[in-house]
């Protein structure tokens, strides 16, 4: 039986960001090619079979991205982006978070099932300059590609734009046992997809580029590399793709329409491999794909494109034949049962530009918008009220859990959406039903992951609680405290402070 090969991007074409009035098209760079930077693995401070300790430092630096002057950048244990962290299911993990930046930041573990709000690292867990914080958690999670990024509302977008994003790979025994590429940096390749605009002296200028519907730049940056190539030395490679951009969707395909196979999404392996020639990922989504170069010979080149712009050139070298085959089944998915008496939670993403809102409101750090008992499975119906004419795909993200996509407008999810996820692109006029369960207590944010939209208020908070225990009182950060801290760190009065998202509140006559 011939396996189906999917040849479209699944999402609604009229909503592609190419149709948006503020769209910034990518332009192929005219600079020399550079070897694709592979983020080095972070070295644990200590490690045993069951425990591991890391120190993660947010720091400022400079990066040689283009010929000429170096670009001022931020990163985690690096000048730009960060060293890749490896966690294992069942491990007890200790992390010392250090801030050597000139302003406060937070460390958000996007995709990890950890308690909120402090360990999760959203806006309620600031680490101030020259200070550190310690977190501990025991990870219970399937193998996945997750990531770490800054999340200090309403400056999340600007800090990610500066470079604060790093891969976090979760491993488990089941995934280890499968015949997949596992050699990090050789055939198991992290690939952070971002875009930037370079200004005078090769510098980034976030405020000059600011757009309330998401900041974009014409130059693709892959793992912090401009115009990269990768030397292929094995017949098959595994790409761990992360849309780490503030706004940009990536519509990916290979030269010759070479098919590739998706094996995993955000939070787990897929139940079955999905073969395709085209893949679209929205902001913060991840996809693991396997490319088989078996029909190519040394000296050949294969190019990864987004739309019609080249992103990475794969240069084929000698390799040993690889006759391994992917299993037809990768992972058992066992959805938790939903009590039929449990009401469906309805969530509405609305607006564009400064008018973005969630359930008709803008985010307030001290407001809990919803509650859900820990361990209770519930359907969430997430609606995007934008129209197809001028609207956009909103990527919806939930902190502290992995959900299952049940349906899109009552129909089956896309073929590559049957594993666990934490982010889902919702088309204009569409309602996506999710199956959500929190396994840990805490306060968690849920929001659009066009980062300027979350900074602009398309975000809310839910408290997961243990119904057998008294409800705890959480100390939640407030905007006035954060604003005063940012202003003091920048040496200006609060009245002169500007951060992404502030305009959205002010133009709607609202206080952050």
Q: Which pLDDT band, with edges at 50, 70 and 90, does 389 fall under?
A: confident
Q: Evaluate if residue 1 carries a pLDDT over 60.
A: no
CA distance 115 to 137: 8
| pLDDT tens, residue by residue, 352-369 | 999 999 999 999 999 999
| pLDDT tens, residue by residue, 145-161 | 999 999 998 999 999 99
CATH fold for the domain made of 5-31+179-316: Immunoglobulin-like (2.60.40)
How high is the pLDDT of residue 349? 98
How high is the pLDDT of residue 510? 82
CA distance 62 to 47: 31
Question: CA triplet 289, 292, 298: central angle to 5 degrees?
Answer: 135
How many residues are there in the chain?
A: 512
CATH of domain 39-177: 2.60.40.420
CA-based nearest residue to 479, from 155, 214, 8, 258: 155
pLDDT (average), residues 212-237: 98
DSSP annotation of 141: -
pLDDT (average), residues 124-143: 97
Q: Which pLDDT band, with edges at 50, 70 and 90, does 388 fall under?
A: confident
Mean pLDDT of the chain: 96
Instruction: Read off the tokens for 315.
Output: 């240069």
CA distance 196 to 30: 15
Q: Evaluate if residue 2 carries a pLDDT over 80.
A: no
| pLDDT tens, residue by residue, 13-42 | 999 999 998 999 999 999 999 999 999 999
How high is the pLDDT of residue 27? 98
Instruction: Read off the tokens for 432.
Output: 């996506």
CA-based nearest residue to 169, from 187, 155, 188: 188
492: number of CA atoms within 13 Å, CB side?
11
CB 233 within 8 A of CB 318: yes
The overall longest dimension of the chain from CA atoms, in Å, is 69
DSSP annotation of 43: P
- What are φ and ψ of residue 166, in 5° steps? -150, 150
Q: Evaluate if residue 183 carries a pLDDT over 80.
A: yes
DSSP annotation of 476: -
DSSP, residue by residue, 410-454: TBPPPTT--S-BSEEEE-TT-EEEEEE--SS-EEEEEEESSHHHH
DSSP reduced 3-state for 13: helix
CB 273 within 8 A of CB 419: no
pLDDT (average), residues 277-285: 98
How high is the pLDDT of residue 508? 82
CA distance 89 to 177: 14
The backbone region for 242, taken as left when phi is positive above 0, alpha when psi lies in -120 to 50, beta otherwise, is beta
Question: CA triplet 38, 169, 42: central angle to 5 degrees?
Answer: 55
DSSP annotation of 398: E
CA-based nearest residue to 398, from 140, 79, 116: 116
CA-based nearest residue to 324, from 184, 183, 178: 178
- Name the residue with tokens 């666990």: 420
CA distance 406 to 408: 7
CA distance 22 to 447: 22
Its sign, for the CA torsion 126, 132, 137, 140, is: positive
Positions of CATH 2.60.40.420 in the chain: 5-31+179-316, 39-177
| pLDDT tens, residue by residue, 393-409 | 999 999 999 999 999 99
Q: Evaluate if residue 96 carries a pLDDT over 70.
A: yes
Instruction: Read off the tokens for 397.
Output: 């993200």
Instruction: Tell me the pTM.
Output: 0.97
Q: Evaluate if residue 251 carries a pLDDT over 70.
A: yes
Q: Evaluate if residue 3 carries a pLDDT over 90.
A: no
């Amino acid at each position: 039986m011939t396996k189906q090969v999917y040849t479209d991007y699944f999402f609604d074409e009229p909503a592609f960001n190419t149709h948006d009035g503020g769209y910034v098209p990518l332009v192929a760079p005219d600079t020399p090619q550079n070897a694709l930077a592979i983020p080095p693995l972070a070295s644990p401070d200590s490690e045993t079979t069951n425990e591991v300790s890391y120190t993660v430092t947010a720091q400022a630096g400079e990066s040689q991205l283009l010929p000429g002057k170096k670009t001022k950048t931020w990163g985690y244990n690096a000048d730009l982006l960060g060293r890749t962290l490896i966690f294992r299911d069942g491990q007890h993990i200790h992390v010392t978070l250090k801030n050597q930046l000139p302003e406060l930041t937070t460390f958000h573990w996007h995709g990890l099932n950890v308690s909120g709000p402090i360990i999760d690292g959203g806006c309620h867990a600031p680490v101030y300059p020259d200070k550190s914080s310690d977190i501990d958690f025991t990870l219970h999670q399937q193998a996945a590609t997750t990531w770490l990024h800054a999340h200090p509302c309403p400056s999340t977008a600007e800090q990610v734009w500066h470079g604060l994003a790093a891969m976090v790979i979760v491993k488990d025994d089941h995934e280890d046992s499968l015949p997949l590429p596992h050699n990090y940096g050789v055939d198991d390749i992290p690939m952070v997809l971002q875009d930037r605009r370079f200004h005078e002296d090769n510098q980034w200028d976030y405020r000059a580029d600011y757009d309330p519907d998401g900041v974009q730049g014409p130059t693709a940056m892959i793992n912090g590399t401009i115009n990269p190539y990768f030397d292929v030395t094995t017949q098959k490679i595994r790409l761990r793709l992360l849309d780490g951009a503030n706004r940009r969707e990536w519509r990916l395909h290979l030269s010759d329409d070479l098919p590739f196979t998706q094996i995993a999404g955000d939070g787990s392996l897929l139940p079955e491999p999905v073969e395709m020639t085209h893949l679209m990922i929205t902001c913060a989504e991840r996809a693991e794909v396997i490319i088989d170069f078996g029909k190519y010979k040394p000296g050949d080149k294969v190019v990864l494109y987004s739309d019609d712009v080249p992103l990475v050139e794969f240069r084929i070298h000698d390799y040993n034949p690889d006759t391994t085959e992917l299993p037809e089944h990768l992972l058992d998915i066992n959805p938790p049962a939903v009590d039929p008496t449990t009401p469906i939670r309805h969530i509405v993403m609305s607006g564009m530009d400064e008018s973005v809102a969630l359930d008709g409101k803008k985010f307030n750090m001290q407001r809990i918008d919803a509650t859900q008992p820990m361990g209770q499975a519930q359907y969430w119906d997430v609606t995007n009220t934008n129209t197809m004419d001028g609207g956009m795909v909103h990527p919806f993200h939930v902190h502290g859990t992995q959900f299952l996509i049940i349906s899109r407008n009552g129909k089956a999810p896309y073929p590559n959406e049957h594993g666990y996820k934490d982010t889902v692109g919702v088309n204009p006029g569409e309602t996506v039903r999710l199956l959500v369960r929190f396994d840990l207590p805490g306060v968690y944010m849920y929001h659009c992951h066009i980062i300027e939209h979350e900074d602009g208020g398309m975000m809310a908070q839910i408290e997961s609680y243990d119904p057998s225990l008294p409800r705890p009182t959480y100390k939640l950060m407030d905007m006035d405290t954060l604003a005063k801290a940012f202003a003091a760190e920048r040496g200006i009065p609060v009245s002169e402070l500007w951060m992404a998202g502030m305009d959205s509140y002010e133009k709607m006559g609202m206080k952050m």
